[in-house]
Structure 1
Amino acid sequence: MGKEPVKILITGAAGQIGYALCPQVARGAMLGPDQPVILHLLDIEPAKQSLEGVKMELLDSAFPLVKGVLTTTDVEEACKGVSVAVMVGGFPRKAGMERKDVMSKNVSIYKAQASALEKHAAKGVKVVVVANPANTNALILSENAPSIPAENITALTRLDHNRALGTVADRLGVPVTEVKNVIIWGNHSSTQYPDVNHGTAGGSPIRKAVGDDSWLNGEFISTVQQRGAAIIKARGMSSAMSAASSACDHIYNWVNGTPADTWVSMGVISDGSYGAPKDVVYSFPVTCKDGQWTIKQGLSIDDFSAQKLKATGEELVDEKQLALQCLQE
């Protein structure tokens, strides 16, 4: 007997990231090459026609794993029976908008989507928030979906993790498979801290392999932090292919586990590990097994790193306060 199809929700499915994500999910990059899927694609009313175009292309591609495609502008319908939810839709910051204006828009969106997921999603639904501000959008969703375990609602920092792996690999001129165990700490923002202190390249410590601490403590960090802006400058559009690929990696490892002696970065509800503020969605190094993530403990944190962890944590506390203020208004 073949496996039962898994229903996967993709919000903002007609957008750039959604368009890049759908075929990757359909090919098995998210749940595996033998797991059939039913795609639930949600977008707003003005994108309805474009959404139908995405469905046409999915059908035309004849993906063997795709057992159905639902397109809708109704969030309640979209959430029915889904076991995985990839929250790509959100309100982007536009020229002249204040931070609070953007937060207020996203609070409204994520409050409604939280309610629909809580009512209609499958028990044990796994959620990853991609739309910025991803960590705080995930927190808003969690606050408004109390019956979904907080550990089941996560934010995408795997994109930053993969960027860090790729940047080190490119510097060394080695395949990215040779590099592992970098860490993204904190927020998916320019305060995030890409940390190589526990990572390896070809089995050697990254610091030893690179042999340039000034680069690792300076240009490397800023390159990863600012990569999204650099891509917008180069392409005229934000990251889509890499965001989609990273969302697949995030869910794939969460569901199927991380390789032995390897961790990945996920934005998860903080328990205060490594001095991070509690009850915000903070990126930690995690290992995954049997569909559960666990924060990797016992890693040494030097003074330089501790300052970076503190700064990004403070930003998340500020964002949380702003979000809660918007919720009350």
Structure 2
Amino acid sequence: EVSFVLLLLDITPMLPVLEGVVMELQDCALSLLREIIPTDKEEVAFKDLDVAILVGSMPRKEGMERKDLLKANVAIFKSQGTALEKFAKKTVKVLVVGNPANTNCLITAKSAPSIPKENFSCLTRLDHNRARSQVAMRCGVPATNVKNVIIWGNHSSTQYPDVHHCTVNMSGSELACFDAVKDDAWLKGDFISTVQQRGAAVIKARKLSSAMSAAKAICDHMRDIWAGTPEGEFTSMGIYSTGNSYGVPEDLIYSFPVQNKDKSWKIVDGLAINAFSRSKMDATAIELIEERDMAVAFLAV
């Protein structure tokens, strides 16, 4: 039977707060949770890990330039990558959630050169779930009836939620998304911007960033890595681009449609890409190249 030991890392001033999180976890009476170890020491937190979920990043503060945000995060994720390199198993699966997630993930991977690049991913499952849910609400069906949406590119407002390969099960029939929704203008306009801006909308309403939906997406992402994606379905993950798929440049963490099996992922290749999709996929790649180049310059300092 599988059971978990949770190693929870935080900065020293936050240890009393972390103790509260430990109490909450204990009070959930989770059947698979064997032990919880709160710590402020990287050598404790990263030792022999099977899975690392990196959620701690420097959030953007008012008036903060993008380059200042990147600089602060490069320091954090370089340190975490170095700790993974030193202490974790080489088979560790690393999921970066802290934003800017794609570029933070790339910096982490570059700082842990002996761990294979394909073991690193960033979370775009939350965007994937958001896209599914928007289509489902529009069609009046449960989100589970919507399959094979794709998030391309960056976990930012340039991401491209693509429904050209998506199907919706309505009254027992599998329909192409465009046929089910019957509103092309919405699918090519407000649907895309709603998904792109959803994180900001949650912050505006809640005065805090997505918590429960992000946690659910992390669970979905990890479960798919371990248990595989259902037959005939694919999901979205930010993964290392080798430059061999869909014209996406190499050496970026870019969100692709993937299928998971045996704890590894495979890009779903051969999907038709129209001119509308191409321009949106290229725009998000351009942003990722800019972010990467700025971050790598800080990494070298």
- TM-score category (smaller protein): over 0.9
Counterpart residue type for residue 243 of structure 1: A
The alignment's C-alpha RMSD in Å is 0.8
The CA deviation at 1:123 is 2.8
May I ask how many residue pairs the two structures share in their alignment?
296
What is the percentage of aligned positions where both structures have the same residue? Answer: 56
Q: Does 1:302 align with 2:274?
A: yes
Please name the residue that 1:192 is paired with.
159
How many angstroms does 1:277 deviate by?
1.2
Equivalent residue, structure 2, for 1:236: 207
User: Could you tell me the TM-score, scaled by structure 2's length?
Assistant: 0.97
CA contact (8 A) 2:259 2:267 kept: yes
| Cα separation, 1, equivalents of 2:143 and 2:42 | 38
Note the C-alpha offset of 1:328: 2.0
Query: Which of 262, 268, 288 is the aligned partner of 2:239?
Result: 268
Output the amino acid matched with 2:142.
P
- Are 1:286 and 2:253 counterparts? no
Gaps of 5+ in 1: 4-34
Say whether the 8 Å CA contact 2:90–2:114 is kept in structure 1: no
Alpha-carbon displacement from aligned partner over 1:241-269 (angstroms, at most 9, x marks no partner): 00110011011101110000000000000
What secondary structure does 2:246 align onto?
Answer: helix
Take 1:64 and 1:295, find their aligned partners in 2: how far apart are those partners? Answer: 34
Instruction: Give the C-alpha shift of residue 103 in structure 1.
Output: 0.6
Is 2:195 the counterpart of 1:224? yes
Partners of 1:41 and 1:180 in 2: CA distance: 34
Distance 1:301 1:63 in 2: 44
Aligned to 2:4: 37
Which 4+ residue blocks in structure 1 deviate beyond 4 angstroms?
none
Within the candidate set 20, 25, 35, 1:53 is matched to: 20
1:156 aligned residue: 123
Shift of 1:81: 1.4
CA drift at 1:110: 0.6
Structure 1 residue aligned with 2:228: 257
The answer as to whether partners of 2:124 and 2:151 remain within 8 angstroms in 1 is yes
| Counterpart residue number, 1:208 | 179
Residue 71 (structure 2) aligns with: 104
In the alignment, which residue of structure 2 is the partner of 1:113?
A: 80
Alpha-carbon displacement from aligned partner over 1:94-133 (angstroms, at most 9, x marks no partner)? 0111111111111001111111111111230001100000
1:59 deviates by 2.1
Residue of structure 2 aligned with 1:313, choices 255, 272, 285 = 285
Aligned residue for 2:300? 328
Q: Which runs of 5+ in 2 are unaligned?
A: none
Aligned partner of 1:83: which letter? D
TM-score after normalising by structure 1: 0.89
SS in structure 2 at match of 1:275: coil
Q: Secondary structure at the match of 1:274?
A: coil
Between the aligned partners of 1:327 and 1:123, the Cα distance in structure 2 is 22
Q: Deviations over 1:51-74 (max 9, x none)?
A: 011112222333221111000011
- State how far apart, in whole Å, the 2-side matches of 1:205 and 1:57 are: 43
